[in-house]
Amino acid sequence: MNLNFPFDPLERAEKVERLVMKDGKRLYYRFRAAPYYGGIATADAIGCSFLCAYCWNYFRNLNPARFNKFYSPQQVASNLLNIARKRSFNLFRITGSEPILGEASLEHLIEVLKIIFQEKPHSVFILETNGFFLGYRVDLIKKLIFKNLWIRISLKGVDENSFELVAGARGEFFQYPLIALKELEQQGMKAWPAVMRDLFTDEEIDQLGKLLGEYGIGARLEEEILEEYPFVTENMKKRNVKIK
Ligand code: SF4
């Protein structure tokens, strides 16, 4: 898939969604028990509207067309529930990708959530998202009102320039994840921002804290830790993204 930096993330999301969604099914490459959050049933999907320099799923997200294993919401939920049953987990997530690229992938996600919460009503699903599409289409947020859905929005920068450098998407789109967070809080939903701490100075993190305040976002900022796989270090070098 040809990609020139910086790109329009909306155009990219549309193209990628066409590649990773087919008749309500989505492209996944793995289901696993992961140690994060104390143990979580995890589905690894493919396809993102961004292409972050530090993404651990960089090459799959760069070129999703190489993959062809599509799963229905029933298959995804059933795989996750089996893992949870075997490992006595109460937490679920989809990762490695952007779960919400557009309306088709959102509908797929909602079906997965419905089945999981029907089968395990007291479990928690952690939605890891870059927040872009939810900020662009805030009218869709109400579709995600589930009692035990927690939404973690990974912010890619502290301003337009750092967002563009890290996410690869044009800086003018920086605001959308913040708009999503604001709306989620206004709807009374559990949501919080996260940021890759290693890429920013203390002053830049303070600057982001102030910006979150200006948007009226009260949730605590989670600090992510960079996983320095050799290909991540190499990609960051190529994209001129530095550890600070
Ligand atoms: S938003 Fe997440 S999945 Fe998408 S490219 Fe960035 S790190 Fe990877």
Asked if residue 2 has pLDDT above 90, the reply is no
- One DSSP character per residue, 177-243 reads HHHHHHHHHHTT-EEEEEEEGGGS-HHHHHHHHHHHHHTT--SPPEEE-----HHHHHHHHHTT---
* pLDDT 10s digits, 138-147: 999 999 999 9
Contact of 135 with 143, CB cutoff 8 Å: no
Between CA 36 and CA 42 the distance in angstroms is 10
Question: What is the 90 CA–ligand 1 centroid distance (Å)?
Answer: 25
Distance 47 CA to ligand 1 centre (A): 9
Name which of 152, 171, 141 is nearest 223 in CA terms: 152
- CA-atom Rg of the chain in angstroms: 17
Q: What's the whole-number mean pLDDT along residues 62-76?
A: 95
pLDDT of residue 208: 98
Task: Look at residue 94 and tell me whether its pLDDT is greater than 80.
Answer: yes
Closest Cα to atom 7 of ligand 1: 55
The one-letter code for the residue type at 52 is C
CA gap 113, 108 in Å, rounded: 9
pLDDT digits (tens, 9 = 90+) for 110-168: 999 999 999 999 999 999 999 999 999 999 999 999 999 999 999 999 999 999 999 99
At CB < 8 A and 24+ separation, what contacts does 205-212 make? 205/158, 207/158, 207/159, 208/155, 208/158, 211/158, 211/159, 211/178, 212/178, 212/181
Ligand 1: centre distance to CA 54 (Å): 8
Q: Does the pLDDT value for residue 1 go beyond 80?
A: no
Are the beta carbons of 112 and 74 closer than 8 angstroms? no
The first and second tokens of residue 137, run together, are: 């289409």
The pLDDT mean for the chain works out to 97
**Residue 24 and residue 111 in contact, taking contact as beta carbons nearer than 8 Å:** yes
181 pLDDT higher than 90: yes
Q: Express as a percent the part of the chain with pLDDT over 90.
A: 98
* Cis peptide bond N-terminal to 121, omega within 30: no
To the nearest 10°, report the CA torsion of 148, 17, 193, 7.
-170
- With a 6 Å cutoff on the Cβ, whether 57 touches ligand 1 is yes
Task: Give yes or no for residue 105 CB within 6 A of ligand 1.
Answer: no
Ligand 1 near 61 CB (within 6 A): yes
